[in-house]
Structure 1
Amino acid sequence: MTTMNTGAASLSDETILAIEKKVAYRAKSRDDLTIKTVRACIDAAIAAGGAQETAAARDVLAERQRQVTAERWTPAHDDKHSGGDLAQAAGCYAFHACGVYAGMYPVLWPWQQSWWKPTTPRRDLLKAGALILAEIERIDRGSATSAANGEAT
């Protein structure tokens, strides 16, 4: 039996297999696969006693889900943003949360000024976390596509 060290706990082959089955079962489309994958992994880690889900983690996932469903920033849309736009936007919100861009329009904001919508530090960090998640997902999809096409990543 092999285990995967997650930092807080080790997951057995059986637990990893159960996570994979849950993920495959829950994903009904490519657009919701990653969010549901993360949700399933969090649920499985909690069930295995390896992590505690926090309100902050739930809120970042909820913000990402809101971006996909309410704003229609789907994975297909995100894939059109290359060059780190999503990460750059996340950085702007994170900087704003700690007062760097207080009352200012950030010069590094990658999109139209009308899309810059800072609010409270916590809300800005939730947006930043969701944008980072979207960028990681975009990179992972690109890596998976490259690997499927026999390209080096």
Structure 2
Amino acid sequence: MYSPVVGAGSPLAPPVRITPTDDGLVGHCTLGIAHEGPPGYGHGGMSAMLLDELMGQACTAAGSPGLTVSLQMRYHRPIPLETPLRILGRVTGTDQRKVFAAGSITTEGPLHGPGHGGRRLHHAPARTKGLTHADGDQGRRDPRHRSSDRRPGW
């Protein structure tokens, strides 16, 4: 698996070790220098990716796999590098095809306290055939965008 979060085959994965809890999932990892944003701290995009992965896997574990529609983040303080982290993800509700989840990242020790929190909304996939685009194209290519029509440098 080559997931940039949990994939053993990804050179960027921390990797996160995920286990189920009574309320959802918990992940444990330590960010290294490859994940650095500000000096000595993890990149905010890495925090978002960790939360998206855990909340998505929590949705899947609850029987509602799907794709992220919205990810809202609140950064409380920087996440230090080379410090064991705890990432939580849980489903908080559903509304037809919509599944809502919440999560957080904290350091494992009492030294730093809360780190980041997030909320996720995704739609469970509809049971349809073919690729559907926003314009209802059903996966057909626009003839105006043939590869032979591209100019060098575009």
TM bracket (short chain)? under 0.3
Which one has a larger percent helix, Structure 1 or Structure 2? 1
Q: TM-score, normalised by structure 2?
A: 0.26
Which one has a larger percent strand, Structure 1 or Structure 2? 2
Q: TM-score, normalised by structure 1?
A: 0.26
